[in-house]
Amino acid sequence: MTSMFDVHAAQIDVMFQTPTFDVDVTNVDVRQLLLEKVKLEGQLEMVEAEARTALRERAELQTQVHAYLTHTHTHTHTEAEG
């Protein structure tokens, strides 16, 4: 099963790969390049939003774990004393 973290890591790996171009530079269509740029900027915004969501969810989970551990620790000591 692929985790959300694995998916994000794969997307980040793709983002940082060196691009390769099989295009004759003399025949570049500027309009096509601008469309590709807009598409890539949109993808980047999506990845950034997903990263922010993942970080927020991680922080929430860390808070829940901390609360659980504190609760467990308190009850363990209370039962041992009582």
Reported as a single tens digit per residue, the pLDDT across 37-64 is 999 999 999 999 999 999 999 999 999 9
Query: What is the pLDDT confidence band of residue 66, given thresholds at 50, 70 and 90?
Result: very high
- Greatest alpha-carbon span in the chain: 83
Residue 63: inside a domain: yes
Q: What is the average pLDDT across 18-47?
A: 83
Number of folded domains in the chain? 1
48 neighbors 16 (Cβ within 8 angstroms): no
Task: Output the six-digit token pair for 69.
Answer: 């551990």
Residue 76: inside a domain: yes
pLDDT for res 29: 86
pTM of the predicted model as reported, rounded to 2 decimal places: 0.53
Could you list the residue range(s) of the whole structural domain that residue 63 is in? 4-17+27-81
pLDDT of residue 74 exceeding 70: yes
Residue 49: inside a domain: yes
Residue 31: inside a domain: yes
Residue 22: inside a domain: no
47 neighbors 11 (Cβ within 8 angstroms): yes
Q: Report how many helices (DSSP H) and strands (DSSP E) the chain contains, helices first.
A: 2, 0
Residue 68: inside a domain: yes
